Amino acid sequence: MEKYVIEGGRRLAGRVMLQSAKNSVLPLLAASILTEKRVTIREAPAIADVACMAQILRELGAKVTFSGGDVIIDSADACCHEIPSSLTRELRSSVFMLGSLLTRFKRALIAYPGGCDIGLRPIDLHLFALRRLGVNISERDGFIFCEAEKLHGAEILLDFPSVGATENILLAAVMAEGRTTLTGAAKEPEIVDLQNFLNAMGARIAGAGTDVIEIEGVKELHGVTCRPMKDRIEAGTFLIAAAACGGEIEVVGIRPENIRLLLHKLRENGCKIHTKNDKIRIESRGTLRCNRRIETMPFPGFPTDLQAQVTALNASCTGCALIVENLFETRFKYVPELQKMGADIEVKGRTAFVRGTGRLHGACVTAGDLRGGAALVIAALGAEGTSEVLDLSHIDRGYADFRAKLKKLGASIRRVSV
């Protein structure tokens, strides 16, 4: 096990070149199994989740190589429809493989997916949609077995705009017979990225980014080389870190409209935000004030993946904030760790009431999930004194070169063995 040792109180300054989006690259990797031709994903982030998805593809019989930051997938010899439970329980995004495996092999066997412990995250919507496409599904002993003689288009209405279910439907319907109309689709930018990727392979999909997506099934898909979108959650994490520490940084590669609500909230804190093309610059000076209310919602609402980070920021501001988590019922599990640093936060169900203390103090804390871990790092960077953040395996799932990027901005942060 390794930990970060962080000397807080240093201002951040400089430029951050963003990694490709974790939440885009993972479904793109799942989609690569749809063709026997070579697929190349440029500039894939060197994170644990990407390595895990690559291993899943290898278990299916695909050849996966990493070269100069690119991932190259050749699945011509892929023949297996079963994913080892050790991998599915490690990675939530393994559920995307259901749609891809059904399209390629007409069957799939996976264990219930894992990932961060932030709530139940049931996959009922995934299974409902797959049944609409003609899939027979049986569940037993923690495993899901899916089989379809033939996938066919269908009218699908989602009761909730689930990102994972929307992506799974695209992957299952892309070569189904006939037309699929998905109403109530998730609108996240990563959905648009997946649509563009599949269309570059020869798919016929339109409407991603809206709540209605039309998929006209095609007979085959070909290889593709693509460059995924940049990571809007990484961008938000660094902007929040700069707000907490003070200073001036610029993040490069992000469309400001993809994190519009975060920028609004940072201005509300008292930060100055400047945007131009794919660049966002933040200036943070003096004591910041708490946000009045932040409520997580599906895109274009405030992203749940930035909730922990803004809660850490508000804990070090002045005033009071109300944070409402609408998507995952246990996403405040990081709060007791922030309280060790002096945070005054009261959690009731899915709501956290934050009384800003002006500044936190150093402590030894443990990351329990990916975004909660990032929040603890942000709190430590802005706190007085020395902090230790343990169990970096969670943070490694989503942030590439996290320490190096922060150090380049002027943070005092070391990674050492425990």
Count how many Cα atoms sit within 13 Å of the Cα of residue 19 in the half-sphere of its side chain.
23
H or E, element range at 324: strand 318-324
Q: How far apart are CA 262 and CA 241, in angstroms?
A: 13
Residue 346, class by beta-carbon neighbours within 10 Å (0-12 exposed, 13-18 middle, 19+ buried)? exposed
pLDDT of residue 38 exceeding 50, the answer is: yes
Question: What is the per-residue pLDDT for 315?
Answer: 98
Cα–Cα distance between 140 and 353 in angstroms, integer? 41
Q: Which of 113-122, 165-174, 236-245, 251-260 shows the lowest per-residue confidence on average (mean pLDDT)?
A: 113-122
- Residues pairing with 20 in the sheet: 230
The number of CA neighbours under 13 Å toward the Cβ of 406 is: 29
Residue 134 has pLDDT above 50, yes or no: yes
Contact 46/401 with Cβ under 8 angstroms?
A: yes
pLDDT over 70 for what percent of the chain?
97
**What per-residue confidence (pLDDT) applies to 213?**
98
Is the pLDDT assigned to residue 243 strictly greater than 60?
Answer: yes
pLDDT, one tens digit per residue, over 316-346 is: 999 999 999 999 887 899 999 999 999 999 9
Give the CA distances from residue 243 to residues 14, 120, 339, 372, 382, in Å, rounded to whole numbers and listed in that order.
13, 32, 20, 17, 9
Q: What is the pLDDT of residue 94?
A: 77
pLDDT at 93: 64
Q: Which domains does the chain have, with CATH numbers?
A: 2-18+230-417 (3.65.10.10), 22-226 (3.65.10.10)
Largest CA distance in the chain: 64
Q: Specify the pLDDT at position 124.
A: 87
d(CA 377, CA 241): 8
Mean pLDDT score, 123-150: 91
From the candidates 52, 80, 116, 146, give the one annotated as an active-site residue: 116
What does the pLDDT read at residue 113?
Answer: 65
Residue matched to tokens 């910041």: 288
Question: What pLDDT does 115 receive?
Answer: 43
What confidence tens digit (pLDDT) does each residue in 68-120 have?
Answer: 999 999 999 999 888 888 887 777 667 878 999 999 999 999 887 654 443 44
* pLDDT tens for each residue of 172-192: 999 999 999 999 999 999 999
Spatial strand order in the sheet of 224-226: 63-67, 70-74, 39-41, 224-226
91, 107, 310 from 84: Cα distances, Å: 11, 15, 36
* 112's tokens: 């219930």
The sign one gets for the Cα dihedral 330, 331, 332, 334 is: positive
The contacts of residue 87 (CB under 8 Å, 6+ apart) are 52, 55, 56, 59, 94
**Rg of the chain in Å (alpha carbons):** 21
Q: pLDDT per residue over 361-405, tens digit each?
A: 999 999 999 999 999 999 999 999 999 999 999 999 999 999 999
Look up the pTM and report it: 0.95
Q: CA-to-CA distance for 380 and 187, rounded, in angstroms?
A: 34
User: Does residue 245 carry a catalytic annotation?
Assistant: no
Bridge partners of 247? Answer: 12, 284
pLDDT confidence of 34, banded at 50, 70, 90?
A: very high
Return the structure tokens found at 31.
């989609």
